[in-house]
Amino acid sequence: MSSPSEQTILVTGANGFIGGHVLKEALKKGYHVRALVRTEKSSQKFRTIFASYGDQLSWAYVPDIAVVENYASAFENPPKPITAIVHLASPFTMAVSDNKRDLLEPAVQGAVAILEAAKKYGSASLRRVVLTSSFASHVDLTQGYRPGYTYSEKDWNPQGWETAELDSATAYCASKKLAEKAAWDWIEANKPTFDLTTIEPPWVFGPHVDGVEDLKKLNQSSASLSQLLDAAEVPAVDFAGFVDVRDLGAAQILVLETPAAGGQRFLFGSHFDYQTAADILRENVPELKSRIPEGTPGAGLTQAVYAIDGSKAERVLGIKYMPLKDTLVDSFAEFVGAKKSAAVAA
């Protein structure tokens, strides 16, 4: 395998929460990166943040990730051969007006379009596509908290097109499952010269490469975590798992560098619940003790809820998960700062 400085990684959704950390990790390791975003405006903040890397980072614009032809310019004249694609771009929001139009179709079409584009425009040097899916493609919402059950890579969310339009949470979970299945089906049908690896994180928490200026503009994961700040009570469990965004960013690159990761699914993360998060914050960040609800201390770890087995990523990729304490302390430093700035501005 050639050195990072002789390779270009193409990253879709590069201006997002996870995307920023993938760029940071790839550039730090010496890779050339072709970052894909929808508009030039959406690239400006990261252009500034990563300006010191000069022409090691280049940009391309894909206004619609579901249209194969939109990717043509992304593959043109890379500084070094494109050896891998990290596909992060996909809708992640519960605020939709039409589940099929806003979630299901874009996710499925986007997953297939990047593979079609890789086949159409990629060269023989392209060896792997990494699709970031979600724990949502594993979880069976019809089973509720499913106490005693452990989710792993063998699990698939049973939801299909016919049930996915019931509510936005079901539709989101179905969109991730349907998109991932469509990608694997495409690989099986087309048998391209590159392989596919899928990454399935649960909640993704941690600091933002570009910081936090407005709590009202947070991504879905960070918004869910930030609701603990100044809350009246501890929220109930939604997804009982998390991974630190810094671990996830590093893992994307480790997947590219690990031959044995090809053709594999990887479920990331470990247990998470809001009560345990509240306990950790109240104990370790004194200034937050009056701003985080007490709930029932210690009850989080005894809740009857499913477990997540993220050990395959540890074994195959060699990652070591960051403790929840570190993730929470760094996340809430940003949340508190943003809220303080908003209060001053008001």
**What is the DSSP code string of 202-268?**
SEEES--TT--S-GGG--HHHHHHHTTTT-SSPPPPSS--EEEHHHHHHHHHHHHH-GGGTT-EEE-
Of 82, 89, 80, which Cα lies nearest the Cα of 132?
89
Q: Is 176 a catalytic residue?
A: yes
Of 6, 63, 52, which Cα lies nearest the Cα of 30?
6
pLDDT one-digit tens code per residue, 21-51: 999 999 999 999 999 999 999 999 999 999 9
- Whether residue 339 contacts residue 229, with contact meaning beta carbons closer than 8 Å, is answered with yes
Q: Which of 24, 80, 176, 177 is catalytic?
A: 176
The residue ranges of DSSP E strands in 88-194, in sequence order, are 128-132, 150-151
- Model pLDDT, residue 164: 63
Query: Residue 192's Cα: distance from chain center in Å?
Result: 25
Q: What is the CA radius of gyration of the chain?
A: 20
- Whether residue 26 contacts residue 5, with contact meaning beta carbons closer than 8 Å, is answered with no
- Whether residue 65 contacts residue 42, with contact meaning beta carbons closer than 8 Å, is answered with no
Q: What is the largest CA-CA distance in the chain?
A: 58
pTM: 0.95
- Model pLDDT, residue 170: 84
Residues of the chain short of pLDDT 50, as ranges, are: none
Matching residue, tokens 């501005």:
345
- Model pLDDT, residue 166: 72
- Model pLDDT, residue 109: 94
Q: What's the CA gap between 39 and 41, in Å, rounded?
A: 5
Strand-pairing partners, residue 12, are 36, 87
Matching residue, tokens 């991932």:
180
Q: What's the CA gap between 106 and 185, in Å, rounded?
A: 17
Can you list the domains of the chain with their CATH numbers? 4-207+241-272+309-314 (3.40.50.720)
Q: What's the CA gap between 84 and 87, in Å, rounded?
A: 10
Of 243, 229, 232, which Cα lies nearest the Cα of 338?
229
Q: What's the CA gap between 23 and 253, in Å, rounded?
A: 10
Residues 6 or more apart in contact with residue 213 via CB below 8 angstroms: 338, 341
pLDDT one-digit tens code per residue, 224-253: 999 999 999 999 999 999 999 999 999 999
Helix (H, G, I), strand (E, B) or coil at 37: strand
> What are the C-alpha distances in Å from 340 to residues 211, 213, 329?
14, 10, 16
- Model pLDDT, residue 190: 99
Q: What's the CA gap between 25 and 172, in Å, rounded?
A: 28
- Whether residue 324 contacts residue 331, with contact meaning beta carbons closer than 8 Å, is answered with no
Q: Report the amino acid identity of residue 266.
A: F
